[in-house]
Chains A and B, each alone.
Chain A
Amino acid sequence: MDFQPNGDQQAIQEAVEALLARHAGAERAIALAAKGETDGELEAALAEAGYRDLALGPETGPLEAALVVEAVSRAAGLVSAGASLLVAPMLLGEAAPGPVALAAGDEPVPLRFGAHAPTLLVARGDEAFRVDLTPADREPVPSNFGYPMGRVRADVRAKGRSLGAGSGPRLRAWWRVALALEAAGSMRAALALTVDYVQRRRQFGRPIGSFQAVQHRLAECEVLVSGAHWLALEAAFHGADPERSALAAAHALEAAGRVFHDTHQFTGAMGFTLEHDLHVHTMRLQALRLELGGLGSHRVAASRARWVGTA
């Protein structure tokens, strides 16, 4: 048990922060989102730096990949970090190029990166399927939930290759870890922006962050966000075991609902404008809350894994 990063982990964290300082950030995300694009440059930079192979490296594993996924999310990187750096390598045993989209079942709902991903992973019952997509298979869906969305044609999904018995639960478990990490990153960024805002914004002759009513709610958010962070990392370390991954997603996405409303509350109307960066992080939280059956399904999955014996 050791909560401090070792030398290698620290080096990875510092390197990825430096890379993200050049290739990510809310401003970039806003500009790309306006055009409905993903961040090809960031995608290439992450690939070149070897982060796609981190989860399967000889000296590194899913925990190191998890640290990168959370960092990318915190920096508002507009790439499919969780699916590309963690879920795909752990499922496929190899890196997948380009954005990766994830789907649960066959409903043709909007998917994150669904209009851009050359690779789609579908969880269907006990099996997961890999579907290679061409531009003709995908259709963009306009959305302001912080990620480029797209639908994949139903007949195309059916053509996927099975990844074998048991791959369905495995995909769901890693997906939940990725959701928890991405939510933890977005929440951390949203909370930091809000804490900064309430220190500078003055009303009634004092910073609004000096009011105890504001402080207590933000302090509770801090408790929830810190818990989400450690639960997600622990689940990654333990290879996305079904209970831990579902608990990590359940806690993070419950916290996400709370953090959304409190950060927007204290940032006032300003937080809803495109002038302020808050929405970049918070709107994503709502998108994450809707994936893979949503909060309730993560909670049920956790209980089944612990007390019923099925995930």
Chain B
Amino acid sequence: MEFGWSEEEERFRQDLRAFLDEELPPNWEEIAAGGPGSDEQVRFCRSFCPRLAERGWLTQHWPREWGGLDASPWRHAILGEEMWARGEPRGPQYMNVNWIGPAIMRFGTEEQKAELLPPIARGEALWCQGFSEPEAGSDLAALRTAAVREGEVYRVNGSKIWTSYANHAERCFLLVRTDPASRRQRGISVLLMPMDLAGIEVREIPSVVGDRYFHEVFLNDVEVPVSCRLGPEDEGWAVVTYALQYERVGAARYARAARILDRLAEEARRRGRLDDPRLLERLGEARAACEAARLLTYRVIDMRAHGAPPSADSQLARVAGTLAERRVADLALELFGPESLAYGSPGAQHFRAAMTAGVAVGATEIQLNLIASRILGLPRE
């Protein structure tokens, strides 16, 4: 047990920071303010990710066979921290490298790997995630979108909701029910669906979170080639479970929260308030929550580095991250006071960045259920 970084890891972090200082344009803050799904940030990520890929960093944790460097999970974690702390200039592409690529490597055919992995590794691919449906949110296994096999295509009908990046993505990691008689986890398949097929309609759902944040994706008689199926028919649940294990700690949201907190402290200093013990208490409280989330995330990365099977420990990290983000969000509003009410103000932006924490990528209550049953060993209701 030891909690230090190696010299090589420290150097990598410094190199990354220098790279970001150089690559991020002067108006980056404005670009990042729109969130990873905004037109500006998506446009930026299309030029940024290829440059990250040129350095070998974008998919460094992938095997060499697919354009990676076999880098340790720790190095990839450092990359994630530095990216999130700066507002995630990879845009939606963090999903590709964290879990979509690894799922394709694990379950894909040789053709799928050869077609889909190189564009991800070059930083040129944009994906979205077609999981939630109007009647299947936390209860994902209730999904109904139907895919009926007709020769060499699946005819897909249904709809997906809350789909971030659907307006920009070229492909969708889509969950469908291929066995209409099936229930729950059985009979589900994964389709790697091109977004330009006929019958796909993407509609924005306006929200208070940000522009182009949520979408609904309507699928009307979409003919998806059978060759797009990832993994065996009707056994997609295993693919999703595998992918989600990577997804759950893939986004270093705690690093963004900690960075926002540093900004808030800086702002408090400018306003001559950094000698107010009440404010210092609030800052310290929020910082402790960010640090707890960081270490619980590290614990999961450590298990991966040791080759341990995925466990419910990732849920501990997620819940801790949510607690941290909420504290930072509340503090952001309060510190700037009524000025936060103005659209686009720093308080409003920081708040917006953190307000979805307990809902995005899985509700906290589900995570608590999993901790209760798998870690505490409590009986099911």
- Residues from 367 to 381 in B contacting A, C-beta threshold 8 Å: 367-369, 371-373, 375-381
**A244–B284 CA distance with the chains assembled, in angstroms:** 11
Contact with B371, one of A206, A222, A299, A300 (Cβ below 8 angstroms): A222
Please report the total number of B residues contacting A with Cβ < 8 Å. Answer: 53
Minimal beta-carbon separation of B179 from chain A (angstroms): 31
A216 contact set on B, CB distance < 8 A: 365, 368-369, 372
Residues of chain A contacted by B368 (CB below 8 angstroms):
215-216, 219-220
CB distance from B109 to the nearest CB of A (A): 36
A3-B299, A4-B306 given; A251·B289 CB < 8 A? yes
Q: Using a CB-CB cutoff of 8 Å, which residues 210-228 of chain A contact chain B? A: 210-212, 214-216, 218-220, 222-224, 226-228
Render B272-302 as a binary contact track against A, CB cut-off 8 A, 1 for contact. Answer: 0011010011111101110111011011001
Residue A254 contacts which of B274, B288, B381 (CB distance < 8 angstroms)? B288
* A9–B296 alpha-carbon span in the complex (Å): 20
Q: Is A209 an interface residue (CB 8 A)?
A: yes
Q: Is the CB of B285 within 8 A of A250?
A: yes
Q: Residue B269 at the A interface, CB < 8 A?
A: yes
CB distance from A204 to the nearest CB of B (A): 12
Binds B, one of A25-33, A76-84, A147-155, A233-241: A233-241
The answer, yes or no, to whether B7 is at the interface (CB within 8 Å) is no
Q: CB within 8 Å of A: which of B326-381?
A: 365, 367-369, 371-373, 375-381
B303 to chain A: which residues have CB within 8 Å?
A: 3
Please name all residues of chain B whose beta carbon is closer than 8 Å to the beta carbon of A206 when the two chains form the complex: 379
Are B284 and A300 in contact, with the CB atoms below 8 A? yes
Roughly how many angstroms separate A250 CA and B188 CA in the complex, as a whole number? 46
Residues of B within 8 A of A (CB): 1-5, 9, 74, 262, 265-266, 268-269, 274-275, 277, 280-285, 287-289, 291-293, 295-296, 298-299, 302-303, 305-306, 316, 319-320, 323, 365, 367-369, 371-373, 375-381
Q: Can you name 21 A-B pairs with beta carbons within 8 Å?
A: A1-B3, A1-B74, A2-B302, A4-B302, A4-B306, A209-B378, A215-B372, A219-B376, A220-B368, A222-B375, A223-B320, A226-B299, A227-B320, A230-B296, A230-B298, A299-B281, A299-B283, A301-B284, A302-B288, A307-B266, A307-B274
Further contacts, 14 of them, CB under 8 A, given A195-B376, A223-B296 = A1-B9, A4-B302, A63-B1, A212-B372, A216-B368, A219-B369, A223-B316, A223-B320, A230-B298, A231-B291, A238-B3, A251-B288, A303-B265, A307-B274
